[in-house]
Amino acid sequence: MAKRQRRKINDALKIRVVLEALKEEITLAELASKHKVHPNQIRTWKNQFLDRAGTIFSGNKDEMKELKQLREEKEALHQCLGEKTMQVEFLKKNLKKLNLL
């Protein structure tokens, strides 16, 4: 007997389900049967959404600073890599001229 593959639910559906759950127009059981998910899963998504709701508009300033720093570091490393590549090519070219390579 083949193993049943897990269903992957996209974020858009999760958001739609959570918003319907927050409206409380229908019960979790009805909502679960409507979208074919377990009520506990809807409760988990709802709790995750509410836990993270405070950071949606404010954003995490520390993460933004770290991301900016990492991007700058990446650019510096790319520049250094480019310089090293040019130096290696220059040395290869000159070694060939001297018949040492």
- Domain extent, residue 12, equals 8-59
Dihedral (CA of 39, 45, 51, 54) sign: negative
Report d(CA 12, CA 9) in Å as an integer: 8
Say what the pLDDT of residue 101 is.
77
Count: domains in the chain:
2
Shared domain for 48 and 69, answered yes or no, is no
Predicted local distance difference test score (pLDDT) of residue 55:
74
74 and 95 co-located in one domain: yes
Residues 64 and 99 in one domain: yes
- Position 1 in a domain: no
Determine, yes or no, domain membership for 34: yes
- pLDDT recorded at residue 59: 67
Cβ-count burial of 88 within 10 angstroms (0-12 exposed, 13-18 middle, 19+ buried)? exposed
Domain-embedded: residue 24: yes
Q: What is the pTM of this model?
A: 0.56
pLDDT computed for residue 4 by the predictor? 82
Report the pLDDT value the prediction gives residue 40, as an integer from 0 to 100.
96
The enclosing domain of 48 has a CATH number of: 1.10.10
What pLDDT does residue 80 have? 97
Residue ranges for the chain with pLDDT beneath 70 = 59
Q: Are 72 and 47 contained in the same domain? A: no
Give the model's pLDDT for residue 5: 87
